[in-house]
Chain A
C-alpha cells in the first residue's frame, strides 16, 4: 500500500540553528499537508502544497513540494523554543491522508 516516509525521526538543535524534515511518498500525491503536534496536543494544520515544485513560506517556515509530487520538505530557519513539537507530513491520494511517522524537534536555549 501507499507509504509516506519521513526523516529524521528525532532532531535536537540549539536555539537559532536551522532544522529540516523530509518526506517521501511511494506514489504520486495529489497534495501534501504538514501538521504540527505539540506535546500532549492534537495535530494542527500548517499548510497544504498542491502544485509540482511549489514553495510556500510562513514566517521562518519554508515548505517545498517536489517536481514529481512524491517528496516534500519543511525547513525552519533560526529555530525558537516555541518550535518544539512533532511535525508530520501527510500525503493525499484519494480521500485518505497517509501520515508519515513524524519528526520530533527539541530545541535547547
Chain B
C-alpha cells in the first residue's frame, strides 16, 4: 500500500484565518481525494483533486472555501479558507489508482480546531 503523509497533523486556528494542508504520497497515484470527518461522524467527500486542472467538488463544497491544488501525481494541498468553528474537523486525503486500483488508502489526517 502507499505511504501517505499529511502536514500539519493538527492545528488550532483563529476564525477568519486560512490553513493549507499538504498531502504527500510516496508513489504516483491516479486519484487523490479530500475528505472531512466531523467528530463522531462518517467521512464526507469534499473533492477529487485532479492533476493539472481544477478539482471536482461535491455538492455543498465550493472552490472559494476549499481551494485545492494538485501539481503532480504525488502531492496535493487543501486550503480551508476564512475558517469558522464549524470547520473544526479532521481532514483526510486519500489516494487510489495505479497499483491500488479502486481501493482507497487514507492519510493520517489533519485535526483542525477553529476557535
Which of B14-22, B38-46, B66-74 forms part of the interface with chain A? Answer: B38-46
Q: Are B1 and A45 in contact (CB under 8 A)?
A: yes
Q: Is A63 at the interface (CB under 8 A from chain B)?
A: no
Given known contacts A96-B45, A101-B42, A44 and B104 CB-to-CB distance under 8 angstroms: no
**Interface 0/1 of B20-41, CB less than 8 Å to A:** 0000000000010100000001
Number of interface residues of B (CB under 8 A): 20
Q: Are A96 and B106 in contact (CB under 8 A)?
A: no
Q: Are B102 and A43 in contact (CB under 8 A)?
A: no
Given known contacts A95-B31, A101-B41, A43 and B48 CB-to-CB distance under 8 angstroms: no
* Dominant secondary structure at the A interface: strand
Q: Which chain A positions have C-beta within 8 A of B59?
A: 1
Q: Which chain B positions have C-beta within 8 A of A44?
A: 106
Q: Are A99 and B42 in contact (CB under 8 A)?
A: yes
Nearest A residue to B90 via CB reads A42
Known: A33-B103, A99-B42, A100-B42. 12 other contacts (CB 8 A): A31-B102, A35-B106, A42-B92, A45-B1, A45-B104, A48-B103, A92-B102, A96-B33, A96-B45, A97-B33, A97-B45, A101-B41
